[in-house]
Amino acid sequence: MRVRIAPSPTGNAHVGTARNALYNLLLARQHHGSFILRIDDTDVKRSTAASELGVYEGLRWLNLAWDEGPDVGGPCGPYRQSERLDLYTAACEQLLAAGRAYPCFCTRDDLAAERAAARAAGRPPLYSGRCRDLPPSRVQALKERGAPYVIRLRIDPRPMAFTDLVQGEIAQDASLLGDPVIMKANGLPVYSFATVVDEHHMAISHVLRSAEHISNTFPQLQMYEALGYAPPQFGHLGLLLNPDRSKISKRTGAVYIGEFRDQGYIPEAMINHLALCGWSPDGDQEVLSFDEILAAWSLERCSPANAIFDRQKLLWLNGHYLRGLSVADLAGRGWPFLRR
C-alpha cells in the first residue's frame, strides 16, 4: 500500500489537509505501507518556499511523519511537481500521438460566449469541442501564427462508474463532462492531469482525498485509461465545515494548523479532534491517543457525509490533555508562550 498527501504550498497546512494527512497515515501504518508527501506547486503565482515550509512545520507539529517527500527523498522522486515537468510533457505527447488529446485555440472570450449561449439555451456550460477536429493544416497554420493554445483531453462520452472506498458506487455520464484542459498555454499541467501522471510514477495504490475532488475523478479515470495506467483505488472524505455547516474560512477563526499551535493548542488534542472529524470509533469514547486511534480506525467507519470542525470541542479536548500533563511537561510547552 502506498498513499499520499499532496498539498499546494500556498500557506501553512490547512485543517482539512491535516485531517486527510492523518487518515492517509493511519491507512498506511495499518497496512505496513508507505505515506508520501508530494508538493503540488505548479501554481507558480501562488506557490512559495515559505508556504512549503509552513506545510512541513504544520504536519510535523502534529507528528504526522512521511516516509518519502521533498525533504527526506525516496525512490520515486523528485517530490515537487515543478521538478517533474518532463513527465507531464511526455504523457501529453503520448495522448496527442494517440489522438486522445488535441490543441485548442479558443480564446477566453470565445469560451465565455459559449458558456453564456449554453446557459441561455438551458444546457450545461460545457466546452463545445469546436477545436476537436481541426484539420492538421489549420492547426499548423495557427501555431505558425503564434496563436496561444491549450491541450484538451478527448473525452469518450460513455456511462462511467467506480466504487468509492468511502462514498460507495458513484456514476457519471461522461458526455456531460466536456473535454478538460490538461496542459495550459504556458506549458504547465493542470492539477488533475499532473496528479494522474504522478500517482502512476509514484505507484500510489490508494488515493484518499476530499469529496470536492469527486468531479475530477471521472476525467482522471479516462486519463489513466488513455495512458495505459492502472488507476488507484479512490476514497473521498467529507469536507470539514463550521458548526453552522458553512465552509471553514478565515472569518470564522483559525484555519491553518500553525495558527492553532500559536494559540496554545497541543498536538494531542488536535489529532484527537481531527480523527473524529469524519470517523467514529465503535463506542462512545471521545478521548483517544494516537495509538488508540491507530488500533481502532477504519475506512468502513468513515462517514461519507461532511464533518463538523467544532472549535468548542477542540478547546475542551485541549483542556483535558493539558490537565493530564506532568508539571515538567506543561512547563516545557508553556515556556515559549511566556517568553513571547
- Residue 102: name the closest of 143, 134, 141 by CA: 134
Phi-psi region of 324 (alpha: psi -120 to 50; beta: other; left: phi over 0): alpha
Residue 76, CB-side half-sphere exposure with 13 Å CA sphere: 20
Residues carrying an active site annotation: 250
Scan for cell 463506542, then name that residue: 283
Q: Which residues contact 103 (CB under 8 A, 6 or more apart)?
A: 131, 134, 139, 142, 143, 149, 150, 151, 152
Secondary structure of the chain in the HEC alphabet?
A: CEEEECCCCCCCCEHHHHHHHHHHHHHHHHCCCEEEECECCCCCCCCCHHHHHHHHHHHHHCCCCCCEECCCECCCCCCEHHHCHHHHHHHHHHHHHCCCEEEECCCHHHHHHHHHHHHHCCCCCCCCCCCCCCCHHHHHHHHHCCCCCEEEECCCCCEEEEEECCCEEEEEEHHHCCCCEEECCCCCECHHHHHHHHHHHCCCCEEEEEHHHHHHHHHHHHHHHHHCCCCCEEEEECCEECCCCCECCHHHCCCEHHHHHHCCCCHHHHHHHHHCCCECCCCCCCCCCHHHHHHHCCHHHECCCCEECCHHHHHHHHHHHHHCCCHHHHHHHHHHHHHC
